[in-house]
Amino acid sequence: MALLLFPLRNVPDDEAEDIRDVLSENSISFYETTAGNWGISMPAIWLSDESQLEQAREAINSYQEERKQVLQEEEYAKLKQSGQADTFLKNLRRAIPTS
C-alpha cells in the first residue's frame, strides 16, 4: 500500500524538485500525483515501498533542515546589506528605555 510522504500543495517548485532529487539519490522508490485538471486532487509524493519510510523521512528531514539554514542565512545577508539587520547596538537601544 502506498503511503503519503510529502504533500505538494503550496510547496515551491524548487523545494519539490529538491525533494525528488533527495529521494532519487537515496534510491527511494516513489511516485507523484498532481492536483488534476480542476486542482481538486491531492498533489503529493507517495512512497511505493513502506519499508523505506524511515529512510525517506530521515532524508527529507535532513534536507529541510539544510534548506532552513540556507534560507535564514540568505535572509540575514539581505537584511545586513540593506542595513535592517539587528546589531548589538540596535538591540541595546531597544532594551534601554528612554525617558
What is d(CA 60, CA 40) in angstroms, rounded to the nearest whole number?
25
What is d(CA 38, CA 43) in angstroms, rounded to the nearest whole number?
12
Write out pLDDT tens, residues 6-63.
Answer: 999 999 999 999 999 999 999 999 999 999 999 899 999 999 999 999 999 999 999 9
Task: Name the pTM for this structure.
Answer: 0.75
Task: Spell out the SS3 assignment of 45-88.
Answer: EEECCHHHHHHHHHHHHHHHHHHHHHHHHHHHHHHHHHCCCCCH
> Domain limits of the chain?
3-95
For 94, list phi and psi in degrees, rounded to 5: -70, -35
Task: Please identify, in words, the CATH class of the domain defined by 3-95.
Answer: alpha beta
